[in-house]
Each structure stands twice: as structure tokens, then as C-alpha cells.
Structure 1
Amino acid sequence: MKTIFKFIIGVFLLFIGFSCDESNDHLSGISIDTEDFTIEAPLVVKKRDTLGFLKGSSNKGEVTYSLISQTPENSVVLGVRYGEIIVENPEFFNSDITDEVNLVIEVKKQQETKISNVTIRRNLNDPDGDGVESNMDSDPNSPCLPVQDENYTGYNSYNSIWREADCDQDGISNIDELTNGTNPYFDESSIGDIDGDGLKDDVDPDPNDPCLPEKFIGYQGFDPENDIWAAGDCNGNGISNGDEVAAGRSPYPFPNLPCNDIFNFELENYARELRTVDSNNGEGVTIGVIGGNCGTILFTGGSIFNQGCFNDDVRIPFFFEPVDQTSSNGRVFVELTEYSCLAEDRVSSRKFTVEGLGTYAGASRTVELTYIITQLGDDIPDDERVTTGTLIIRPL
């Protein structure tokens, strides 16, 4: 029995030995084929371009590739499966930083590896960077010849000769055009703006309508000297754009938003008793009432300008105009408004008109208005007829 047991153990160990030998033969039987090679880059190289493919195979199926090193660093990345050589930094291939990029690649199958050295040479056949090879270029040293149309994008934006040139002859270098978002092959100044709305005619949906596309309060891109624009009425209030600007007001409407969304503060902050300080007549108290139109506050009571009026039915509309939709500050103006001022005898009265322009601060509920008050009547001496001053309205 012992003899049989020893025989079985011996056979088992012999089997294991054969298995190990077969396994070792399997590993040692892997062969990898690869080589060192050189690639010449295109005239103009762009990010994510594929410049070529790594070379490698084995007798046991697909190999994998690893990038051991590259000079300069971050020039390329490798494709995950097929070994594509993909551009990461085009500047290394398009400028004179270096004439070649060198890669050290590990080609691997299981435990077997080989090294492949890849050289990518910068293409030097386009000295002026216009994207046309020298033997096809009518002037290899002029980046603007041959003349290209406005849709041309085949240039080398890293080439110093091309960057400093001015191919559309508008006084702006090619590279500054790219930086500014304009076309180095087209002079944008040749495009007009017939209606003066600040949009060039090539992108304006209606080049003859100064109010299209619709703009809102805060827009400043218009040309106030343009006759078509000045004659328009972009907020539809019956006052021309030119007259609005001359009066210090925006010619554009509020966007179609709730009033408080437009003003970025609570208009109700002005709907209360507020202190008035007048440069001519001292201090008083007025009451603010929200008007029917968005942004209009009616300041009421005879003490608004502290003129000694004894009637409370004085109502002066102040119109608030924000700098833009994100600001709680802006301009305030009073269009020509007539009001009566009752004398102390409660019988006689005087008539006045007032108009003015100023600023407001929404957070502090403060208004500062520069005004002109004119007293009406044929019997008023000329030197007493017109009064100018400053009115400040602020919380009590």
C-alpha cells in the first residue's frame, strides 16, 4: 500500500514539473516586433490632430503602449487602444521652440517589453506660416501671398512672420485680430452700421431699424451721432432717441420683468415719509407714493422743495432708471411738471414748473436731484422767475 501511495505522489509531482515546464515555455515563447521610426509633421498642426500610429505587434495578440518620456513635455498624448500619436500642444510643432519632438515608448505583451524611439520632425517647408508649402507658394517669405479668402483658416498662428503681418491691411496685426476675435483675412471696418445701433450690418437682423434687435435700459453701444438712430424711438414713448439722450435718459425700454426684478431693490423703500434737504429752502418732509408705471415715485406734499406751500396735493413724479438690471443705483429724472403752491392765506396761489436730473442709491433710499424751478405769471420779475438748486431726499 505504501509503495502504491509513493508511486501516486511521484506521478503527481512529475505532472506538476511538466506543467511548470510548459508554463515557462509559454512565457518565453512571446516575441514582440517594434522599431524606431520618424514622422514628419504636417505644415500646420492643430490640437487633437493624429500625427501617426505607434508600431508594435506580438505572436500572441495585441500589444499595449506606454509613454515612458517625451521631449518637450506635454507635446502629445497616446490613444488608448490603437497607439495613436495625438497632438496636445501644437506650439511645439508650429514654432521654432524645437525642431523635433522625441518619444520613448514601451511596447508590452504580458511580461515581455521592448522600447521604441519615435521622432516627430517639425515641417520646415513653410517659413512664412501661411500654410502653403514653399514649392507651391508664390512668395515663400510673404505670409499674405497667395491672397486667401475671408474663410481661410489654414495658416500657422504660431509662426512669428505670420503673426506680425497684416493680411487684410486694416492696421491690425494678424495675431491681434485673432486675440480680438476678428478675422485676419477680412477688414471688418469695411462693414457699415447704417442704423447706428452698434451692430454691424452683416450681423444685424434689420440693418435699417435702429431698434432691432431689441435692447434694454443700460445698453450703451449705439451711435448717438447717427441720424437714423437719433430719429428712432426705441422705448416707444413718443420721444426720439436723440431727445432722450439729450435729456440724460436712456432711449431703451425696461425688459419685460417684474418691476422689483428690474430695480434690484424694493421700491417700497421710497413709499414712506422721507426727509428733504433743499439747497435754497432748507429741510422738510415729503411722502413717497409708488406711481402707476414701473419705477415712478410720486413725492407729495407742499414741503417737497420747502417753498412754504400750504397744500398737500403737490405731486412731483420722479422716474428711476437703473444703470443696468444688476444694479440698485441709477439715474432719476423729473420731466417738466406744473404744480400749484397755496399761500399762507389759503386763498392765493402761485404756479411753478419743475424739471431735473440726478441720481439715486437704492440701498440707502437716497435721491439727489439737480432741478430748475420756473415761477409762472406775467407779473413775475425776470430775476425771480427761475431758480436752480439741488434737492436731496433721504430716510428720516
Structure 2
Amino acid sequence: MKTVFRIMVLAVVLSVCFSCDDTEDINSGVTVNTEDFTITAPLVVRELDTLGFLRGSSSEGEVTFSLISQTPRNSVKLGTRFGEIIASNPEVFNSGSTDEVRLQVSVKKQKTEKISNVLILRNLNDPDGDGVENNADNAPNDPCLPVQDVSYTGFNPFNALWRAADCDADGSSNLDEFNAGTNPYVDESLIGDADGDGVRDDEDEAPNDPCLPEQFQGYEGFNQDNEVWALADCDGDGISNMDEVANGDSPYPQPDLPCNEILNFELENFERELRTVDSNNGEGVTIGVIGDDCGTFIFTGGSIFNQGCFNEDVQIPFFFQPSAPGSSNGTVTVAATTYSCLSEDGTTSFGFTVEGFGTYSGSASTVELTYTITTEEGEAIPGTLIIRPLE
């Protein structure tokens, strides 16, 4: 009788255990779906380009993505929520050092996980690096054909053939011109600036009038050694341009316009919460504040460069300069600005100094800044910061 009782107790215990396992399976019955796939990169890959999107879904809503491995290392990074595959090292895709990038990605919901293997193929349809696909290129191994317009920027600056060529025949290679910031498709030595206003004659609406196109206070692109410019009086105050400069004054007038007309976009485009994407540290959020001077916006918050600063009193002033009167686009400048970065526990503060130069699009509320951050120890860290609307 005792033996029978023991058998019955054991059966009940086993039944309960199996029942518990089944319940856990039922309660955690989350399914995750993903797949292995291959994508081909664009002809020319730029830093922070989105190359494609990871694939994954679950029976319980959105999944999260995390990168397990990649070969070569540091080729891409992931947008963890929406699964963007973002180029972080464009040289991998453009230089020919490798023809493929392999990713192993975890696709997860709660405790359920599956692995997706992604193959990114380098685009081999442009061997000369001119940015023109073979089927449209009448000289697929000549990086200077077809002849491109002076404003062309679709080339691949990492391609060996393109780098070694000299497409404007000025004696400097395309690579040297690219590194120097000059145009590899224009021999600048053949283009003059007769009136010294800093606008090349081929782009100047009045190449012999140093006060046209009209400029305003803050413009410094003029050539003060040009006699035509030096003798003119661009602000009409009876003092020549050269005397204004000698006195430390601006030779250009202050525009009598509301600031939003000078910048030609609604100031509120940047006076709000915006997303930041930093080439070194990923994504963060900043809040834009209008500065005291027209064209100055102050981007605030410890996450502007996403360095892990836990103090919100970080303030980086950006100066916006329109590229031309009436333009809603232009350049941004960050003069050397020092700020502190507070650790999470609030006990340690690190000092940084940032300065940089870039561009903005007023209508798109987007800024792209190439910067250098210098640490207290003197280490210089280069990077790119993009400020854009929250999606």
C-alpha cells in the first residue's frame, strides 16, 4: 500500500512539473520571424548612409536588433529600433579592400531570439570611381569620362583610379584636390575675381562691381588687397572698404530685415527638440534655443554629442550664415566652445572643447557639422554631427 501511495505522489509531482513547463511555454509563447538576406551597396557609399534595413517581426509587436559580429569590423552600425544598417566606415565599401561585409544580428523579443545573417556586397559596377554605372559609362575605366559639370560630387573619393587621375588637367591629382577642398573638375587658376568680392567671375552676377552680389555684416570672403574692392564703399557710409577694414569695422551694412527673412526660414524650425546623430557616439536628442544675435542658435543638453554627459547645462552656440541673400541654406560655424561633461554618479566632470564648420538646410531643419573635440589631456577627436528633426 505504501508503495502504491509513493507511486501516486511521484506521478502527481511529475504531472505538476510538466504542467509548469507547458504553462511557461504557453505564457512565453512569443514567436520571432527573421531571415538571412543579401543587399548590394550603392555605387558610392557616404558616411551615415542607410544601406538597408534588417528584417524581423514578432507575434508581440516590435523586435529589437543587436549586432553580434561584423566582418570587417566597424563597417556599419545599427539603428536598434528600426533596424537601419548605417555605414560607419565608407572606405570599406568604396576602396576595393574587400568585396563584402558580413553581419550576424540578434533579432529578439522578450526572451525569444533568432539570428539573421546579412551579406552586404560592394557595388562593382563602377571600376573607375566616377560614380557612373558601367551600363551608362562610355569609358568605364576612365574616371574623367563622361565629362562632368563643375558642381558634380557623385564620384568615389576612395577609388584608386579616380584618386590618381587629374580630371581638370591642372597638375594636381583628384585626391590632392579633394583633400585640399578644391574642385577636381575645375582649374581654379583660370578663373579670376576681377572685383575682389570673393565671388568667382563665372559665378558673379556683376563681376566688375565689388558690392554685388549684396553682402551683409559678417561676410569676410572679400579680397582686401584687390584695388577695385578696396576703393569701393559697399555700405554707403562715405568710408571706403579698405578704411573700414583698417578701423576694424565691417565694410558691409547690417540688413534691415527680421532675422527669419535674413535666414529665410522659420526660426522655430530649430527652436525645438531635435535628434542628433554623432559619427563617434550614435544618436541623442538636443533642444535648440534662439541666441541673442541673428543667426545664432544654441543647442543644449548633455546628449548633443551623445558622450554620456548627465548634465543638461551643455550649451553649444552655432552661427548660421546664409550662402547667399535670400537662401534658406548656408554654412554653420562653431567657434571654440568649452563645456563640462558630468558622469552618471555626479562625482566626476570632464572638460571638452569643440569647434567646427559645416552646412545647414533651413527648410529641412538639418545641420551637418564636421568638428574636432579636444579633451583636457589635449587629445583631438574628429567627428561629424548631424542635427535633424525627430522622426
CA contact (8 A) 2:166 2:173 kept: yes
Q: Are 1:175 and 2:168 counterparts?
A: no
Q: 2:235 and 2:105 mapped to 1: Cα distance? A: 67
What corresponds to 2:98 in structure 1?
98
Shift in Å, 1:240: 11
SS at match of 2:51: strand
Q: Are 1:42 and 2:35 counterparts?
A: no
Q: How many residues align?
A: 235
The aligned runs of 1:1-396 (5 Å cut-off) are 20=20, 23-27=23-27, 29-196=29-196, 200-202=200-202, 207-209=207-209, 221-223=223-225, 228=228, 252-256=245-249
Q: 1:56 and 1:229 mapped to 2: Cα distance? A: 63
Q: 2:197 and 2:35 mapped to 1: Cα distance? A: 64
Superposed CA deviations along residues 144-190 of structure 1, whole A, max 9, x for unmatched, are 11111122221111111111212222222222222222222223233
Cα gap change, 1:132 to 1:230, in 2 (>3 Å): closer
SS at match of 1:167: coil
Superposed CA deviations along residues 300-351 of structure 1, whole A, max 9, x for unmatched, are xxxxxxxxxxxxxxxxxxxxxxxxxxxxxxxxxxxxxxxxxxxxxxxxxxxx
Cα gap change, 1:233 to 1:154, in 2 (>3 Å): closer
SS at match of 2:179: helix
What corresponds to 1:320 in structure 2?
none
Shift in Å, 1:229: 6.4
Shift in Å, 1:215: 11
Shift in Å, 1:211: 7.8
Counterpart of 1:155, as a letter, is F
Cα gap change, 1:215 to 1:31, in 2 (>3 Å): closer
Q: 2:245 and 2:29 mapped to 1: Cα distance? A: 82
Counterpart of 1:255, as a letter, is G
What corresponds to 1:362 in structure 2?
none
CA contact (8 A) 2:196 2:222 kept: no
SS at match of 2:163: helix
Which segment drifts farther, 164-173 or 104-113? 164-173
SS at match of 2:246: coil
Counterpart of 1:156, as a letter, is N
Q: CA RMSD in A?
A: 3.9
CA contact (8 A) 1:37 1:117 kept: yes
CA contact (8 A) 2:75 2:88 kept: yes
CA contact (8 A) 2:224 2:230 kept: no
Shift in Å, 1:138: 0.2
Q: 2:180 and 2:120 mapped to 1: Cα distance? A: 32
Shift in Å, 1:23: 3.3
Which segment drifts farther, 193-202 or 176-185? 193-202
Q: 1:239 and 1:256 mapped to 2: Cα distance? A: 10
Q: Given the two structures, how large is their TM-score scaled by the length of structure 1?
A: 0.50
Greater Rg over alpha carbons, structure: 1
Cα gap change, 1:232 to 1:114, in 2 (>3 Å): closer
Counterpart of 1:163, as a letter, is R
Cα gap change, 1:35 to 1:211, in 2 (>3 Å): closer
Gaps of 5+ in 1: 1-12, 245-249, 258-396
Cα gap change, 1:255 to 1:111, in 2 (>3 Å): same
SS at match of 2:35: coil
CA contact (8 A) 2:130 2:144 kept: yes
What corresponds to 2:376 in structure 1?
none
Q: Given the two structures, how large is their TM-score scaled by the length of structure 2?
A: 0.50
Superposed CA deviations along residues 335-371 of structure 1, whole A, max 9, x for unmatched, are xxxxxxxxxxxxxxxxxxxxxxxxxxxxxxxxxxxxx
Counterpart of 1:79, as a letter, is G
SS at match of 2:68: strand
Cα gap change, 1:79 to 1:252, in 2 (>3 Å): closer
Counterpart of 1:134, as a letter, is N
Q: 1:113 and 1:162 mapped to 2: Cα distance? A: 44
